[in-house]
Structure 1
Amino acid sequence: MTLRADRAPPASDPPLTFSLISSCAEAMKTVCAALVLVMLCSLQTTTVAQVISRPADCCLTYYPHAIPLKSIVSYSIIDNNSCELKAVVFNTKKGKKICGNPAHSWVKHHVAEMDKMQYTTKNTTLRQTTA
């Protein structure tokens, strides 16, 4: 068997290396697209699970320090069965919500002072309207 040097390969056949690289690139695109799709689906599932598991108004931890009474605008008490922690949520002038442990003395003091201020404000308003 002799090879003839004067005969060139047909022009329609692409080189083997180009064909292999092209098919690998297509396979990588498909694998990457599948991975992105799987990651997006798992992220969606995780987000939905978190929303269902606890209400948005639950405290996860207590704030470790006392906050100044003058920075508090209002408070609310979270005491329901759907939340793990019972807490007092203080709303600050800066718009932050701070969770306090209802057993701590500073939280009890701030709640009592806020109740006094609300009562005084209501009395002052009533006096002004009746006079």
Structure 2
Amino acid sequence: MVLFGTKLIFVPGTEVEFAANICDDAVIMSRKFIIVPGTKKDTMQYKNPHHKKRKNTHALEVSCGKCKKPVAIYQKAGKGNLIKMLVSRVVEAEVDLENLEGHFSCPKCGLELARKGKHENKLTFWIIRGKINYKRLDNYPL
């Protein structure tokens, strides 16, 4: 098996050493798969420069409910549902949320995902219920 970014690709009938010869920069993570750097194609386009790590938080991958495209990585605190997204806690996103005019829509299918507003004088996107999916990313470095 060879891991290209986040995609897992099976190479039947080959060993890890053979797969490592494909790329000199390959890193053998275990006997079953390797990671080839620089091949991850589904990275987010915008990284938040004002993002800071906060205590007792975890990363969530927020994706469109219609086309399932990941649109943001959000740093969430607490156990509850995702009601709002503070722009200061967005780690990565497909669009620049600070300079976004209007509401937050999916860049692939155009579905409106959240409405722009303010919460305690901070720029916030209020999630429209049922329009997004999210999953917890346990191994994501914040």
Aligning the two structures, in what range does the TM-score lie when normalised by the shorter sequence? under 0.3
Higher Cα Rg: structure 1 or 2? Answer: 1
Larger proportion of helix: 1
TM normalised by structure 2 equals 0.23
Q: Give the TM-score normalised by structure 1.
A: 0.24
Higher relative contact order (CA 8 A, sep 6+): 2
